[in-house]
Amino acid sequence: MSLPTTVYVGDLPYDQINMKPIVTDDFLRNLFSEAGKISEVIIKNDKLGRDGVPKPFAFIRYETREEAEKAVNELNYTKLDGVPIRCSLCDPETKKKLKTGKGNLFIKNLDENIEVSQLHDAFANFGEIISCKIAGERSPDGGFKSHGYGYVLFKNEADAESALKDLEGATINNRPIKIEPFKKQPKENPEETYTNIYIKQFPDTIHNNEDLKELFSKYGEVQNAFLPLGEDGIPKGFGWCNMMNHDDAVKAVTDLKGKHMKNLDGTEVEIYADRAMTRQQRKQFLEEQSRNYRRLIYEQYKGRNFYIRNFDENTTEEDLQSIIGRFGEISSLKIMRNAEGLSKKFGFVCFKELDDADKFYNESYTVTLPDKQGGNKQLYVARALPKEERIKVTTRLKAQQAQAKNYGSMPGMPGNSRIGQPANYPTEITERDSLKAEVIEQKGASSPLIPRIKDLSDEQVHKLVTDRTAQLNWLNTA
Give whole-number Cα distances, 59 to 54, 96, 325, in Å: 16, 17, 66
Provide the 8-state DSSP code for 58. Answer: E
pLDDT tens per residue across all 478 residues of the chain: 445 789 999 888 877 656 677 888 999 999 999 899 999 999 987 776 655 567 889 999 999 999 999 999 999 999 888 888 999 888 777 777 777 778 899 998 898 888 898 899 989 989 989 889 888 776 655 567 788 889 999 988 999 999 999 988 888 888 888 999 987 655 555 556 788 899 999 999 999 989 999 999 999 998 888 888 887 888 888 898 988 888 899 999 999 999 999 998 989 999 999 988 766 776 777 777 777 777 777 778 888 999 999 998 889 999 999 999 999 999 999 999 998 899 999 999 999 999 999 999 999 998 988 876 667 789 999 988 877 677 776 676 566 556 655 554 444 434 443 433 444 444 445 788 889 999 999 988 889 899 889 899 888 998 898 899 999 988 887 7
Angle between helices 458-466 and 468-475 (to 10 degrees): 110
Q: Are 457 and 380 in contact (CB under 8 A)?
A: yes
Q: Does domain 287-383 have CATH number 3.30.70.330?
A: yes
Pairing of strands 175-176, 238-243: unpaired
Q: Does domain 6-181 have CATH number 3.10.20.600?
A: no
Distance of CA 278 to the CA centre of its chain: 9
Rounded to whole angstroms, the Cα distance separating 89 from 131 reads 10
CATH of span 191-277:
3.30.70.330
> What's the whole-model pTM score?
0.43
Amino acid identity for residue 350 in this structure: C
